[in-house]
Amino acid sequence: MTTEVAELRVSFDTVVDVESLALAAKHAGRKLALLPTAGKDRTLLQIAESLDRHADQVLSANAEDAAEAAKLVDRGDMSNALYQRLLLTSEKYQGMIEGVRAVARLDDPSGKVLAKTLLDDGLVLEKVSVPLGLLAIIFEARPDAITQISSLAIKSGNAVILKGGREVERTMRAVLAAIQDGLREVGTIDSAAVTGVYGRASVEELLKLEGIIDLVIPRGSNALVQHIQNHTNIPVLGHADGVCHVYIDAAADVDMAVAIAVDSKVQYPAVCNAVETILVHRDIAPVVLPALAAALEAKGVKLRGDTATSELLVRHTVELVGEDEWHTEYGDLIAALRVVDGLDAALDHIERHGSHHTDAIVTEDAAAASRFLDEVDSANVLHNCSTRFSDGFRYGFGSEVGVSTNKLHARGPVGLEGLVTYKYRLLGSGQVVKDYVGKDARTFKHERL
Amino acid sequence: MTTEVAELRVSFDTVVDVESLALAAKHAGRKLALLPTAGKDRTLLQIAESLDRHADQVLSANAEDAAEAAKLVDRGDMSNALYQRLLLTSEKYQGMIEGVRAVARLDDPSGKVLAKTLLDDGLVLEKVSVPLGLLAIIFEARPDAITQISSLAIKSGNAVILKGGREVERTMRAVLAAIQDGLREVGTIDSAAVTGVYGRASVEELLKLEGIIDLVIPRGSNALVQHIQNHTNIPVLGHADGVCHVYIDAAADVDMAVAIAVDSKVQYPAVCNAVETILVHRDIAPVVLPALAAALEAKGVKLRGDTATSELLVRHTVELVGEDEWHTEYGDLIAALRVVDGLDAALDHIERHGSHHTDAIVTEDAAAASRFLDEVDSANVLHNCSTRFSDGFRYGFGSEVGVSTNKLHARGPVGLEGLVTYKYRLLGSGQVVKDYVGKDARTFKHERL
């Protein structure tokens, strides 16, 4: 193990190696792509076992990372939230291992016949799902991302190259060593199929590998995601902003509206599907806003708002929101409140200031709900429930690869199906196109099989 | 009509107008997106009728374009193929109109419930297909692209902004005027939903409109597609190269192999799914190559090849292919022939020099076919049939939006489903996430409905 890690250190620290590592991973991925589901599941279970065996090494590597991080927190150079995220307890680590076993139980997204058509006698077209090839995951301080993404990659038949934040570098080396040991024990796939790169420069190297890397998945701050989106021609699965809204309609149940708005804000304010702006219909604002303000403040939420809101909340401290601030993602216990003239004004606000991620309406008016759900151009549109539900686990995807605010390929919470593409297989018996054109042309049957 | 066209000329020729036109189109698209299928079909039929009524104007505008083009052909500044493509006969124009009516008969790709899950009592998740929003089509000298793409856009609920080559500018103005007249006659959608921009600079303007334009579809030369892919952050649906292969295995039926290779090369050599390189297994090369060379030469194909090929074809003229030339897309009556040691060598060649578009194997050996279909990483992998079959019409898609060699969103020939995305609709009755976490948490049901 120790020699292993030392070897990895030597090879990984050289930036010139990023392309060769990626090529080796891609090559290993070709075999992985051909493995039947049972083979991939066996591999995952072996990796889980190996992770279990490596628990001491991983936890002590993480303790070193945590000790370094604690110094940064003390100096004010790292937030406590980040520190908590990178800290691995024995329980959290067991959760990571259980996560790998859970992925083995998920449905295999590749190798599915998505459509089958008889074009003509002896000429059958099949559309089959296949792995993308090589994924690159760039994440910050989340050790759980390593096992989660690696196992999702293996289950979908993709090789993966990981680049973690330097705050979790020791942890990542230890976890990857355990995963690669598991791969070696199974022996069917080259352990290069799951690999890691280190050092800041390696991100730029990865982002250049168009044609080798098929998909980049960033996991981290908006700044990280945006930087990646702007610096690569490789497709990126991710979302930079999560500026989500709850619109409380005139016909809302007030208690429900308050409960939903509060849950959307406070249940986990740092995540992308937490609400930032709560829009309140003018007619119901005098009733809703005082109740909402009290409930939010009881949970420690600071209030911001427009003039109409602050006039209705004279007993509360409401900091004014400038017109150019409505797109702010606070990611914290801060809520922006705005009084709107009605559904159309709410739709306009969301279109202008939202990030097309998750938006909810609270109303008992079915027609208003229906218009909201149809007309809001977001990945997730919700009626009478908390924005915090827009999540791959809650949606029942088993696992979440990421959240996308792109419209192409995958939108919203993305499950394993976001890691596959498809190919067309056409099985003939000597057919040529010239027989299907001009006079006496054969006609296609196009029968769905 | 004449005033109409004159007005369009004034507004369109100003480059600063590109963004406002796109915004107006996007806005009109929002209404189009909400239109039920019957409304969209009625619109298409009215457009077909309007196109019919405008036949004289369109054909005379095209005659002017053709007269200008003829001068360019005479001066050697335009290929005859391009001239033929832009020339509109009455019959071709009627075909375009019939194409619009045919799109009305296609299945509507939007508004489909793709999945439905009961998350918990009174909490139902729906995944619904929705239009992308605004498409931009950048094409060269193909008048038929205007009506085809416009009608596909309308059918899928998308607004569209078209930019045609200057060689068909008059034709495009006349066709768009007819389409917009049709839209005005129906009256439910603003005619701004289908709009055009002119002038070379407008392409660069369009490519900047990230966040307004949702998808760019280039239709034209590799150079055009590559330029667009490299100059925009908007997703591009297209393919730059079509370097396709036919691999003739040792176990191929010789007559079938020759017929397939010839059809793949000569049936329409200018298109992307025509074969460029024919790989022949060493064991069968002495038999196949002379027959193949004779058949290709009989169709006017010039032969290029490796040394082994030229040694086996001493009676033919075979120009040597340099190692760095195997990725060449001739798009013409030129075929590159290469002798390979076997399936693995063929797979390597295709991986190294292909464009992941369409590749075929000819063999009676089922195991070889299966490996080829599994291991070639192309959008279309074919067994015992011509590469020319990889096409949306032949695949039975009814219409073809484009061909994609991307792996994300859409791959291979793309039908109407390439113009939609999806959104998640979550219909609740007051649910909040805090009830689903911690002690006494409610558990999700996740029942497929």
pLDDT-based confidence at residue A403 (cuts at 50, 70, 90): confident
CB contact under 8 A, A431 and B385: yes
What is the rounded distance in angstroms from the CA atom of residue B417 to the CA atom of residue B221? Answer: 24
Closest CA of chain B from A330, distance in Å: 20
Please, is A217 exposed, middle or buried when counting C-beta atoms within 10 Å of its C-beta (0-12, 13-18, 19+)? buried
- Please give the structure tokens belonging to residue B329: 């897309």
Q: Which of B30, B384, B408 sits opposite A428 (nearest CB)?
A: B384
Residue A294 has pLDDT above 80, yes or no: yes
Residue A363 has pLDDT above 60, yes or no: yes
Q: What pLDDT is attached to residue B140?
A: 84
Q: What pLDDT is attached to residue A7?
A: 42
Number of inter-chain CB pairs under 8 A, A vs B = 201
Q: What is the mean pLDDT of residues A64-89?
A: 93
pLDDT-based confidence at residue B7 (cuts at 50, 70, 90): very low
Minimal CA–CA distance to A62: which of A151, A218, A153, A178? A178
Q: What pLDDT is attached to residue A12?
A: 46
CB contact under 8 A, A423 and B253: no
Q: Which of A132, A374, A434 sits opposite B407 (nearest CB)?
A: A132
CB contact under 8 A, B373 and A421: no
Residues of A with Cβ-Cβ distance to B379 under 8 angstroms: 423-424
* A34 interfaces chain B, CB cutoff of 8 Å: yes
Minimal CA–CA distance to A376: which of A353, A359, A389? A359
Residue A284 has pLDDT above 80, yes or no: yes
pLDDT-based confidence at residue A270 (cuts at 50, 70, 90): confident
- Please give the structure tokens belonging to residue A43: 């591999």
pLDDT-based confidence at residue A28 (cuts at 50, 70, 90): very high
Closest CA of chain A from B395, distance in Å: 7
Q: What is the mean pLDDT of residues A302-315?
A: 97
CB contact under 8 A, B380 and A424: yes
Per the listing, tokens 């490996």 go with B371
Q: What pLDDT is attached to residue A401?
A: 84
Q: Which of B379, B383, B386 sits opposite A427 (nearest CB)?
A: B383
pLDDT digit string, tens, across residues B404-432: 888 888 888 888 989 999 999 999 999 99
Residue A80 has pLDDT above 90, yes or no: no
Cβ-based neighbours of B361, under 8 Å, separated by 6 or more: B246, B247, B249, B346, B368, B369, B372, B373, B381, B382, B383, B384
Q: Can you point out the beta strands (E) in B192-347?
A: 194-197, 215-219, 244-248, 275-281, 302-305, 318-320, 334-340
CB contact under 8 A, B375 and A422: no
* CATH superfamily placement of domain A244-389: Aldehyde Dehydrogenase; Chain A, domain 2 (3.40.309.10)
Minimal CA–CA distance to A156: which of A104, A211, A119? A104
Residue A210 has pLDDT above 50, yes or no: yes
pLDDT-based confidence at residue B142 (cuts at 50, 70, 90): confident
pLDDT-based confidence at residue B221 (cuts at 50, 70, 90): confident
Minimal CA–CA distance to B256: which of A122, A432, A433, A443? A432
Helices A143-156 and A90-105, packing angle to 10 deg:
10
Q: Identify the three-state secondary structure at position A363.
A: coil
Other C-beta atoms lying within 10 Å of the C-beta of residue B316: 18
Listed by start position, the domains of chain A span 2-230, 244-389
* B327 interfaces chain A, CB cutoff of 8 Å: no
CB contact under 8 A, A267 and B406: no
One-letter amino acid of B405: T
Residue B12 has pLDDT above 80, yes or no: no
Average pLDDT, chain B: 92
In contact, B417 and B109? CB cutoff 8 Å: yes
In contact, B125 and A396? CB cutoff 8 Å: yes
* A36 interfaces chain B, CB cutoff of 8 Å: no
Residue A5 has pLDDT above 60, yes or no: no
Cβ-based neighbours of A63, under 8 Å, separated by 6 or more: none
Q: What pLDDT is attached to residue B13?
A: 47
Check: CATH 3.40.47.10 for A2-230? no
Cα A133 to Cα A11, A30, B243, distances in angstroms: 23, 7, 20
Q: What is the mean pLDDT of residues B111-132?
A: 96
Minimal CA–CA distance to B425: which of A370, A344, A274, A347? A370
pLDDT digit string, tens, across residues B268-287: 998 899 999 999 999 999 99
Q: What percent of chain A has pLDDT over 90?
A: 80
What is the rounded distance in angstroms from the CA atom of residue B149 to the CA atom of residue A110? Answer: 32
In contact, A266 and A333? CB cutoff 8 Å: yes
Least confident stretch, A176-180, A222-226, B325-329: A222-226
Closest CA of chain B from A409, distance in Å: 4
CB contact under 8 A, A384 and B427: yes
Q: Can you point out the beta strands (E) in A231-387?
A: 244-248, 275-281, 302-305, 318-320, 334-340, 358-362, 380-385
What is the rounded distance in angstroms from the CA atom of residue B395 to the CA atom of residue B419? Answer: 17
pLDDT digit string, tens, across residues B52-91: 999 999 999 999 999 999 999 999 999 888 899 899 999 9
pTM of the model: 0.87
Q: What pLDDT is attached to residue A106?
A: 92
Q: What pLDDT is attached to residue A4?
A: 42
Q: Vertex A361, ends B34 and B130: CA angle to 5°?
A: 30
